[in-house]
Structure 1
Amino acid sequence: MSNGGDHDAGGVTQLTLLDSFVGYHLRRASSRFAAGFSESVGPLGMRQVLFGILTVVHDNPGIRQGAAGEALSIQRANMVSLVNELVDRGLIERRVSEVDRRAFALALTPAGEVLVEQGLERIRVNEDALLRTLSPAEREQLVSLLSRIEG
């Protein structure tokens, strides 16, 4: 016999308290985007952090390694190993900076350029699928609102 506190296995689980928190929805949405990234760009051998570095270098050829890390909030020690991984894979070249001889400047190799273009196309397809119910204006508004939270 069931007591009044048991949840029927066939019923809908209520999330009334969680449903009121923005953070809950952000985490769930983030999980969907991360899974989509892994499915679409993972086969290229990319993790989000590595692809982030590649895109920052793509947009800022010759950027100092430290500045790229700062832009992505990657600690210096972690940035060194991540850039080493990209260098070892032939996707980034590390050169001595012409501005500061003590720093390294980063540039994409031709293979890195190709990988960025392939990855961007796959990410666009994934995002279009996830955001298909939003209009272009709503997408812009979503990015704007999230950017304000990021600070």
Structure 2
Amino acid sequence: MTGDHSVGALGPLVGYHLRRASSAFAADFAAAVEGTGMRQVLVGILAVVAGSPGINQGAVGRVLGIKRANMVSLINELVDAGLLDRAVDPGDRRAFSLSTTDAGGATLADCLARIEAHERKMLAGFTDAERATLLDLLGRIERRETTAA
């Protein structure tokens, strides 16, 4: 399938190839955002908050599939870096609403530009239709996973 060496029984296994593709994407992603201090999960949180200012921490975690216990330290990291503002949610005094700071918006814009270049590079051999098909197929796997839980 890939390279000159047979992977034997792994060849027809979709999961094997998804893992390999994911690993290649993750390594190139890390190189693309190197020097920003950001990781995939942090970019994801910033993107969700920027898209829904005032969203509460729990909702961000649900959207991204991040466990509640992990969200606290991730949000603290972004607040401490001056990228997110956290305030008591006026609708639920037990929750925090989040918004990006100016620095958070600038960091997100920089990371998104780097990520778009990374994706163009990784998918250079794909047509727009193939890219759309890939996103559709991956989305079908994701939706199946969330409905099976």
- Residue 65 of structure 1 deviates from its aligned partner by 0.3
TM-score, normalising length from structure 1? Answer: 0.90
Structure 1 runs of 4+ off > 3 angstroms? none
Alignment coverage as a number of residue pairs:
140
What aligned pairs does 1:71-90 form with structure 2 within 5 A after superposition?
Answer: 71-90=63-82
What stretches of structure 1 of length at least 5 have no aligned partner?
1-11
| Aligned-residue RMSD, C-alpha | 0.9
Matching residue within 84, 95, 99 for 1:103: 95
Matching residue within 117, 120, 140 for 2:132: 140
SS, match of residue 125 in structure 1: helix
What stretches of structure 2 of length at least 5 have no aligned partner?
144-149
Q: Name 2:26's counterpart in structure 1.
A: 34
Matching residue within 112, 117, 123 for 1:120: 112
Identity of aligned residues (%): 54
Between the aligned partners of 2:37 and 2:137, the Cα distance in structure 1 is: 31
Between the aligned partners of 2:7 and 2:94, the Cα distance in structure 1 is: 54
Between the aligned partners of 2:54 and 2:132, the Cα distance in structure 1 is: 30
TM-score, normalising length from structure 2? Answer: 0.91
State which structure, 1 or 2, has the greater radius of gyration over its C-alpha atoms. 1
Indicate yes or no: 2:85 matched with 1:93: yes
